[in-house]
Chains A and B, each alone.
Chain A
Amino acid sequence: MTLAHQTLALQTLGLSKSFGGFRANSDISLCVARGARHALIGPNGAGKTTFINLLTGVVPATSGTVRLLDEDVTRVSQQGRVKRGMARTYQINQLFADLTPIETVGLAIAEREGAGARWWSRVGQNSAVVDEAEALLTRMKLGEVMMWRTATLPYGKQRLLEIALAMACKPKLLLLDEPAAGVPEDERHDVLDSVEALPQDVTVLLIEHDMELVFSFADRISVLVQGQLFAEGGVEEISTDPRVKAVYLGEDAHV
């Protein structure tokens, strides 16, 4: 038990969320091993985004427990969870429209380093922060546009910035909510490549509809249907599971 515990990046126990009478997540118990590439799939409205919101503390759980790296964080604030190593992206972009990518990422790095509230120094003076931000943005193929206003970036670049911003928090556990959703075909590769290129020491929980990406990326897959865990297993197991095919993969999936 203890041994199993120590190798878990994330564990939820009976996690549930009701909106009024509607149970968006019910009784979800999920384990994500450290260093895993875990995918969470399921039809639209299954409650995947709600699950991420519960994990990160954006919305409080109705009941159940969230454990991050062997610590109960159910009642820890969003910021506290970030400090403990959890970062996420949003399915619908949540960026700072008026800021540039270099400012956006710099902000997160400065915050992480405890330098985010300095009021006497100038933005850009802290070369450790600027250098790290520049390196990260370049790595994320945002080097060309790092001085653009975020609102003017092409959609694919904004999706990349979502991931870069989460990575700027130096997470131990990264939650990606449909990173490639809505990205036009010509920009899609950049996003998929960035997801594939995520460092191995970061545990990733990926929500995605693109089955090609899921099957090539994940080593373990959980299927969520109507707020409940429906199936879980290795890629082979899930991709050949007839029940999963029936409820989810359907005819339009690229399997």
Chain B
Amino acid sequence: MLSKPPSTRPLGAQAPSPAAFLQARAAWRWPEILFWISAFGLILLFPNRHLLLNEIAILGLFALSLDLILGYAGIVSLGHAAFFGVGAYAAGLLAKHGVSEPVTGLLLSGAAAGLVGFLASFMILRGTDLTRLMVTLGVALIFHELANRLDWITGGADGLLGISVGPILGRFDFDFAGTTAYTYSLTATFLLFLLARRIVHSPFGLSLKALKDNHLRAATIGIAPNRRIVAIYTLAAVYAGMAGALLTQTTQFVSLEMLDFARSADALLVLVIGGSGYLYGGLIGAIAFKLMKDTLSAMTPAYWIFWMGFILVILVLIGRDRLMATLARPFAPLLKLLGARRP
């Protein structure tokens, strides 16, 4: 039995103690540190790409928020943009009506989205994946329609105009190159990532994995799923709302696009590309997704959507893991070190 190398035991003569083994799951690995140093290093490098980098950071945060429910709790969603949109409109309305300091706006917008997520979570407690897909999609459609109809608040199809965002903490003004914007979005994403990382390695995080893995057995050992699902769904909504708020604040504009179905789909695609359940999938996927979209739309302005779709179909059919393993062997160990399962 011992001749067969166990998959989760690190190579080496001495097996670690159970406590050390368990806690090692939460230890920082050097590629993670490298990842964040590079991300912050880009503030100094490529100053003319900061607007794109800002969008990547925001998409990464949004996908990370979806990963919290999909990758950790196994809750599928086709309507995650609802929370992104609520956060985006909340930030816009706050800025328009006097709360111009971005960090304050960001926190309040996250809270607003969290409240909506909390209420919506009760609709996805029961039911199959299919019903969850439908319910989440439906909620997002309702918010889209509300934003469209309540044009005296939201500006309707024209979008919310007259947003003026002040300097961050009263000190750092947004600039046209997007340097402040990227620094701001990346910092927010990093801090939220740290919190998420802490949570997924906690007993609560482990119980979510158990619920995802085997709902029946989780109940059989006494885990009551509802409160935990409400908690993680609410947290994910806060994250999504903050991503939306960041986009509003850094672009000073909100439109119905924030609530588009395509945005929910994008987040899912990002996780398909980057993988789910190890927190970096959303961030890496966002980079790949944006760069692919950028490159393809520059190469073939008329057909980029076709090629994007083509690549995604290939990705899903062949499997991201196998594709990674064959096309990008040097990249695979890196992903593994970041904590991805079966890179």
Q: Are B221 and A169 in contact (CB under 8 A)?
A: yes
Q: Is B1 an interface residue (CB 8 A)?
A: yes
Known pairs A99-B209, A119-B204; A111 contacts B22 (CB<8 A): no
Q: Are B9 and A111 in contact (CB under 8 A)?
A: no
Q: Are B2 and A116 in contact (CB under 8 A)?
A: no
Residues in B whose Cβ lies below 8 Å from that of A58 = 216, 219-220
Residues in A whose Cβ lies below 8 Å from that of B228 = 117
30 A–B contact pairs at CB < 8 A? A58-B219, A79-B219, A82-B222, A94-B214, A94-B220, A95-B217, A99-B206, A102-B22, A103-B206, A107-B206, A108-B222, A111-B207, A117-B228, A118-B204, A122-B23, A123-B22, A123-B23, A123-B203, A123-B206, A124-B20, A124-B21, A124-B23, A124-B26, A127-B19, A147-B6, A147-B21, A148-B8, A148-B9, A154-B1, A169-B221
Q: How large is the interface on B (under 10, 10 to 19, 20 to 34, 35 or more residues)?
A: 35 or more
Residues in A whose Cβ lies below 8 Å from that of B223 = 79, 107, 111, 116
Q: Is A152 an interface residue (CB 8 A)?
A: yes
Q: Is B171 an interface residue (CB 8 A)?
A: no
Per-residue CB contact flags for chain B residues 220-261 toward chain A (1 = under 8 Å, else 0) read 111110011001000000000000000000000000000000
Residues in A whose Cβ lies below 8 Å from that of B9 = 147-148
Q: What CA separation (Å) do A146 and B6 show in the bound complex?
A: 10
Q: Is B301 an interface residue (CB 8 A)?
A: no
Q: Are B203 and A79 in contact (CB under 8 A)?
A: no
Q: What CA separation (Å) do A165 and B2 show in the bound complex?
A: 23
8 Å CB contact of A117 from B8, B207, B210: B207
Known pairs A106-B22, A149-B7, A169-B222; A99 contacts B210 (CB<8 A): yes
Known pairs A122-B26, A152-B6; A147 contacts B219 (CB<8 A): no
Q: Is A130 an interface residue (CB 8 A)?
A: yes
Q: Is B97 an interface residue (CB 8 A)?
A: no
Residues in A whose Cβ lies below 8 Å from that of B202 = 118-123
Q: Smallest distance from the beta carbon of B22 to chain A beta carbons, Å?
A: 3
Q: Are B207 and A96 in contact (CB under 8 A)?
A: no
Per-residue CB contact flags for chain A residues 122-155 toward chain B (1 = under 8 Å, else 0) read 1111110010011000000000111111001010
Q: Is A83 an interface residue (CB 8 A)?
A: yes
Residue of B nearest to A83 (CB): B222
Residue of B nearest to A89 (CB): B220
Residues in A whose Cβ lies below 8 Å from that of B198 = 119-120
Q: What CA separation (Å) do A64 and B153 show in the bound complex?
A: 57
Q: Smallest distance from the beta carbon of A220 to chain B beta carbons, Å?
A: 25
Q: Are A56 and B220 in contact (CB under 8 A)?
A: yes
Q: Smallest distance from the beta carbon of B204 to chain A beta carbons, Å?
A: 4
Q: What CA separation (Å) do A125 and B202 show in the bound complex?
A: 9
8 Å CB contact of A100 from B8, B16, B23, B205: B8
Q: Smallest distance from the beta carbon of A197 to chain B beta carbons, Å?
A: 21
Q: What CA separation (Å) do A113 and B202 show in the bound complex?
A: 15
Q: Is B126 an interface residue (CB 8 A)?
A: no
Residues in B whose Cβ lies below 8 Å from that of A130 = 18-19, 22
Q: What CA separation (Å) do A127 and B22 show in the bound complex?
A: 11
Q: Is A110 an interface residue (CB 8 A)?
A: yes
Q: Smallest distance from the beta carbon of B67 to chain A beta carbons, Å?
A: 16
Per-residue CB contact flags for chain B residues 162-176 toward chain A (1 = under 8 Å, else 0) read 000000000000000
Per-residue CB contact flags for chain B residues 186-224 toward chain A (1 = under 8 Å, else 0) read 000000000000110111111101100110110111111
Residue of B nearest to A108 (CB): B221
Q: Are B6 and A148 in contact (CB under 8 A)?
A: yes
Q: Is B327 an interface residue (CB 8 A)?
A: no
**Among B1, B23, B219, B222, residue most surrounded by chain A Cβ atoms (within 10 Å):** B222
Beyond the given A97-B214, A115-B203, A125-B19, could you list 5 further A-B residue pairs with CB under 8 A, ordered by the A residue number?
A87-B221, A99-B206, A117-B207, A119-B199, A149-B8
**Among B15, B209, B224, B231, residue most surrounded by chain A Cβ atoms (within 10 Å):** B224
Q: Smallest distance from the beta carbon of A98 to chain B beta carbons, Å?
A: 5
**Among B2, B22, B217, B223, residue most surrounded by chain A Cβ atoms (within 10 Å):** B22
Q: What CA separation (Å) do A134 and B122 show in the bound complex?
A: 37
Residue of B nearest to A138 (CB): B18
Q: What CA separation (Å) do A124 and B217 show in the bound complex?
A: 21
Per-residue CB contact flags for chain A residues 30-49 toward chain B (1 = under 8 Å, else 0) read 00000000000000000000
Residues in A whose Cβ lies below 8 Å from that of B2 = 144
Q: What CA separation (Å) do A79 and B51 show in the bound complex?
A: 50
Q: What CA separation (Å) do A206 and B41 show in the bound complex?
A: 63
Q: Smallest distance from the beta carbon of B205 to chain A beta carbons, Å?
A: 7
Residues in A whose Cβ lies below 8 Å from that of B231 = 119
Q: Smallest distance from the beta carbon of A72 to chain B beta carbons, Å?
A: 19
Q: Are B203 and A110 in contact (CB under 8 A)?
A: yes
Q: Is A7 an interface residue (CB 8 A)?
A: no
Q: What CA separation (Å) do A192 and B178 show in the bound complex?
A: 68
Q: Is A168 an interface residue (CB 8 A)?
A: yes
Q: Are A168 and B203 in contact (CB under 8 A)?
A: no
Residues in A whose Cβ lies below 8 Å from that of B18 = 102, 124, 130, 133-134, 146-147
Per-residue CB contact flags for chain A residues 151-165 toward chain B (1 = under 8 Å, else 0) read 010100000000001
Q: Is A18 an interface residue (CB 8 A)?
A: no
Residues in A whose Cβ lies below 8 Å from that of B25 = 123-124
